[in-house]
Amino acid sequence: MRSIAIDGPAGAGKSTLARKLAKELGYLYVDTGAIYRTVALKVLRENADPSDPAQVIPLLEGLEIRMDYGSDGVQRMYLAGEDVSEAIREHRVSGFASRVSAIPEVRSFLLDFQRRLARSHNIVMDGRDIGTVVLPDADVKIFLTAAPEARARRRLLELEQRGEQAGFAAILQDIKERDYQDEHRSVAPLQQAADAVLLDTTELNLAQSMDRLLYLVKERISL
C-alpha cells in the first residue's frame, strides 16, 4: 500500500489539496482533523472542559466514532450513528479540537484508527503528525504551510461561503492561537518531519499549489 502524508498548520489548504491529490491518484483521502473534531464535538456536547484530561478521558470510553465515504466520495463522520460532518465544521469546534488533541490519551486512542486505514488502502492522509507519528514510513511526506495572514484570508472566505460571520482580525488571532497550541503541545506537536518536503503556498493560488504538489509527489513515487 502507498501512503502520502500531508501535514501543516490550520488553513494552509491541506484538505482541499489533499482531496484533489487523492482524486487524481485514485487514492483514499483521510482528513484526520475531522476525526479530532468529532471527539471535540462530543466534549462540547457534554459540556466538558476540553483542556482537562480528567473530564475528557472518561468520554473516550464508549465513544462511538465511525467514518465512511458518501456516493460523492466525500468523507463523512458519525458520532454514535449521527452524521456530524457539518456540525464538526463549526467555528467553536475548531478551538475545542485543538485543545482535546493536546491530551495524550486522545491521540493514542485515535492512532490505531488512523493506522488501520493506511494498512488497507492507498491513501493521502492529512493532519498535524502524520509524517512524524502516524505514518513515519509514508512514501511521500509534504509539509504544507503559508503565512498566517494568507491562511486567515482563506479561512474567512471559507466561513463566508458557509454563511458564517467572522472578522479577519478574529480569525487571524484564532489561527495564531491554534498554531501556538498545535506547535507547543508535548505530544506529537505540529512539526515538519525531517524527511518531509516543504511546500509554502503563501504566494500560490490553488491551481499553482496543486501543480507543485503533484510535481513533488510524482518526483518521489512512480505512478
Residues that bind ligand DC (CB under 6 A): 10, 32-33, 36-37, 94, 97-98, 101, 127-130, 178, 182
Q: How far is the CB of 15 from ligand DC (least distance, A)?
A: 7
Q: How far is the CB of 54 from ligand DC (least distance, A)?
A: 20
Q: How far is the CB of 20 from ligand DC (least distance, A)?
A: 16
Which strand ranges, in their side-by-side order, compose the sheet holding 28-31?
Answer: 28-31, 123-127, 3-7, 140-145, 197-200
Which strand ranges, in their side-by-side order, compose the sheet holding 75-79?
Answer: 65-69, 75-79, 82-83
Q: How far is the CB of 138 from ligand DC (least distance, A)?
A: 13
Query: Which CB, 30 or 210, lies closer to ligand DC?
Result: 30
Q: How far is the CB of 69 from ligand DC (least distance, A)?
A: 17
Three-state SS annotation for the chain: CCEEEEECCCCCCHHHHHHHHHHHHCCEEEEHHHHHHHHHHHHHHCCCCCCCHHHHHHHHCCCCEEEEECCCCCEEEEECCEECCCHHHCHHHHHHHHHHCCCHHHHHHHHHHHHHHHHHCCEEEEECCHHHHHCCCCCEEEEEECCHHHHHHHHHHHHHHCCCCCCHHHHHHHHHHHHHHHHHCCCCCCCCCCCCEEEECCCCCHHHHHHHHHHHHHHHCCC
Query: Which CB, 104 or 219, lies closer to ligand DC?
Result: 104
Q: How far is the CB of 222 from ligand DC (least distance, A)?
A: 27
Query: Which CB, 128 or 154, lies closer to ligand DC?
Result: 128
Query: Which CB, 25 or 175, lies closer to ligand DC?
Result: 175
Query: Which CB, 110 or 197, lies closer to ligand DC?
Result: 110
Query: Which CB, 35 or 215, lies closer to ligand DC?
Result: 35
